[in-house]
Amino acid sequence: MRALQFDRFGSPDVIVLRDVAKPEPGPGRIRIAVRACGLTPADWHVVDGLLADRLPPLPRGLGLEVAGTVDALGEGVTGVRIGDRVFGPAAFDGPTAGAAEYALMPAWAHIPEGVTSEQAAALPMAAETAWRALDDLGVRPGELLLVHGAGSTVGEAAVRFALHRGIRVIATAGPTRAAALEGIGARVVAYGPGMSERVGALVEGRVDRALDTAPTGGRIDRADRPGPAGGSLPTLIELTGDPDRVLTVSDFAAAAELGVRITTEIRYDRMDEFARLAGEGVLVVPVARTYPLDRIREAAELSRSGHPGGKLVLVP
Ligand SMILES: NC(=O)c1ccc[n+]([C@@H]2O[C@H](COP(=O)([O-])OP(=O)(O)OC[C@H]3O[C@@H](n4cnc5c(N)ncnc54)[C@H](OP(=O)(O)O)[C@@H]3O)[C@@H](O)[C@H]2O)c1
């Protein structure tokens, strides 16, 4: 099968498209014929050597979330059959991962009717992170939540889940997703200088809690345009009045300095709930562009620009 693989750490330039053996599913895992593989900022961290000491030796594969058709079942797997359409996280502890013609999955759910493979492959990481972040932040129905960086896929999923939970939402986003976020019921302002005043103009008093979903907290927007120290977290603290009412999914260094909460423990035990919400149209992660495997360089460049404008999806 064809797969994207790397056998040294570094920039996306180390990634190569190769013909390799199909992976075999061990106990509790399934193998799928991959129809679509979502790219995430975490891919570039893994390629750069994150988790290097916790995973088996190189080579390793690219791609952490997938959708496709079940092709083989590992020992002990129940509740799914060959030919079923599923989506979820890809196993990435072997020589290949999700960006391949076949991939192993440690967890999955059935793709609901009316959802394409590309749309399904865009869901797992954004949905899991957003759900967990809202839970860890402890935001309750009726409260006013500020989602900063809601133009990111995690941010948009958080806005959608929050509104569905009966939470009122103000979102900060650039022009690409602003109208879509307003369309689902968030009040939207631009991020960047003056954000505090723009949010302040919409609320009496404070916002109850704030969730930072901007890549690196907006700390470094682009290498040539570094943001303020601590990114937007000081503004989010000011708007809530308490660092304990702020959670970031990305800017862990600033969070440690400022006493802001973080969330890091990925868990994929809610895939059926995400499938149900996707089927009902509550959970949608916009797909910005699709690419064949051999255009990974182009996809990586847009992904790493900080402004992909939605999910980038590889289609083997
Ligand atoms: N803690 C965890 O467990 C966990 C898990 C998954 C992901 N993450 C992290 O969560 C973050 C978001 O991930 P993602 O996949 O959703 O990212 P993404 O979709 O690639 O985010 C890109 C979007 O962020 C917006 N953005 C860029 N710079 C910004 C800034 N300075 N301020 C506000 N918004 C900005 C842009 O939208 P506009 O059009 O609005 O500019 C852009 O399209 C990443 O840092 C990722 O590493 C953490």
Q: What mean pLDDT, rounded, does the chain reach?
A: 94
Exposure letters 239-251 (e unless 16+ CB within 10 A, then b):
bbeebebbbbbbb
Mutate to test the pocket of ligand 1, among 47, 152, 247, 262 (most ligand atoms within 8 A of CB): 152
* 114, pLDDT greater than 80: yes
Q: Tell me which amino acid residue 53 is.
A: D
Q: Are 94 and 29 in contact (CB under 8 A)?
A: no
pLDDT value at residue 228: 55
Question: What CATH code would you report for 2-122+286-314?
Answer: 3.90.180.10
User: Pairing mode, if any, of strands 261-262 and 246-248?
Assistant: parallel
**Tell me, what's the pLDDT at 207?**
98
Q: Directed axis angle between helix 124-137 and helix 153-164, to 10°?
A: 60
What integer pLDDT is reported at residue 227 of this predicted model? 52
Q: What is the mean pLDDT of residues 138-161?
A: 98
Answer whether 2-122+286-314 and 125-262 agree in fold. Answer: yes
What separation in Å is there between the alpha carbon of 36 and the centre of ligand 1? 21
Element (H or E) spanning 301, and its range?
A: helix 296-304
Tell me what pLDDT residue 157 has: 98
pLDDT over threshold 90, residue 224: no
User: Which residue has the CA at smallest separation from atom 27 of ligand 1?
Assistant: 306
The DSSP element (H or E) to which 261 belongs, if any, is: strand 261-262
- List pLDDT tens digits, range 262-291: 999 999 999 999 999 999 999 999 999 999
173 close to ligand 1 (CB < 6 Angstrom)? yes
pTM recorded for the entire structure: 0.96
Buried b (16+ CB within 10 A) or exposed e, 141-177: eebbbbbbbbbbbbbbbbbbbbbebebbbbbbbeeeb
User: Cα–chain-centroid distance for residue 244?
Assistant: 23
Annotated domain spans of the chain: 2-122+286-314, 125-262
**Mean pLDDT computed over 191-215:** 95
pLDDT tens-digit series, residues 68-81:
999 999 999 999 99
Judge residue 21's burial from the number of C-beta atoms within 10 Å of its C-beta, 0-12 exposed, 13-18 middle, 19 or more buried.
exposed
Model pLDDT for residues 41-56, shown as the tens digit of each residue:
999 999 999 888 888 8
pLDDT at 223 over 50: no
Mean per-residue pLDDT, 89-106: 97
Among the listed residues 261, 229, 248, the one whose alpha carbon sits nearest the alpha carbon of residue 146? 248
pLDDT of residue 221: 41
Average pLDDT over residues 212-240: 72
* CATH number of 125-262, picked from 3.40.50.280, 3.30.450.40, 3.90.180.10, 3.40.30.10: 3.90.180.10
Tell which atom from ligand 1 comes closest to the C-alpha of 155: 16
Could you tell which of 92, 132, 154 is best to mutate to test the pocket of ligand 1, judged by most ligand atoms within 8 Å of the CB? Answer: 154
Question: Does ligand 1 have an atom closer than 6 angstroms to the CB of 154?
Answer: yes
